[in-house]
Amino acid sequence: MFEGFASAEVDTGEARIFIRRAGSGPGLLLLHGFPETHLMWRDVAPKLADRFSVVCADLRGYGKSSCPPSSPDHAPYAKRAVAADLAALMTKLGFSRFMVAGHDRGGRVAYRLALDRPDRVEKLAVLDIIATADAWDRADARLALGYWPWSLLAQPEPLPETIMAAAADAIVDNALESWGSSPAAFPAEARQAYADALRDPAHAHAICEEYRAAATLDRGHDHADRAAGRRIACPVLALWSGHGALAEWYAQEGGPLALWREWADNVSGGAMPGGHFFPEEASAETAAALRAFFQAK
């Protein structure tokens, strides 16, 4: 996997971020979701590296990146803190401005980065998410049962950490097989890497802190931005699973595009083949959609 990509660990001041990078041209940062690592981009990133300087990063607390100490309010794992890591990362790599795509949790980091640092982000792609506050404000039994990490991993420690570290393989298998994607999309090597990261107690705690931050601080940051009239300044591409939750749950609101247009003026996108993990399941289609958006003038 990632043939031709160089790996590195970059000190951003508060964390050490593991990356793989290749290519030349404009900077393009790719961010993963739960329970994945940067390996989710293994088939997408090489298809983009002929046009962009592609950087695939493990978020703080995930994969091979470090797990900074947390605090009672979970602030070190709020998307604002995680986004600051990545702004520092891209500065160290020589990119004053760059483009970013994020799937799932990575999408939440990506749009927070665009809101907090509009001077840095040229274009933004969010994959299979709506904004955190929008999701929590509309949460019902479907979210609680269908995407159980939102409620389970946000519970006080140590219960969710204990469950995750003790049952890492079962958690990965449940997520990859229950959220609409074909199990064949995930090779054994990727599954093992995902489970190994969850099994580590430090990473298990960090990931739970990220979910706790999402239920509290991240939601509050979104509400504060909305109250202040703060919007995403750059063009936004929203992609989602054609037969997943976003296509069904938010139809009354006009679907994902309508919800993202409450956050940005320039929003395009549409449904993709596959389930929640469509970047792994439909990598060619995902790469083509990202390439067309990011290279458009």
Rounded distance, CA 267 to CA 259, Å? 10
pLDDT tens for each residue of 183-241: 889 999 999 999 999 999 999 999 999 999 999 999 999 999 999 999 999 999 999 99
Burial class (CB in 10 A: 0-12, 13-18, 19+), 254: exposed
- Three-state DSSP class for 113? helix
Rounded distance, CA 206 to CA 201, Å? 9
pLDDT tens for each residue of 60-111: 999 999 999 999 999 999 999 999 999 999 999 999 999 999 999 999 999 9
Residue 260's nearest CA partner among 232, 228, 218 is 232
Residue 286's nearest CA partner among 132, 207, 86, 276 is 276
Residue positions annotated with a catalytic role: 104, 276
Q: What is the pLDDT of residue 247?
A: 86
Cα 257 from chain centre: 18
Cα 204 from chain centre: 17
The model's pTM: 0.98
Amino acid identity at 61? G
- CA torsion 78-82-88-91 (nearest 10°) is -120
- Three-state DSSP class for 6? strand
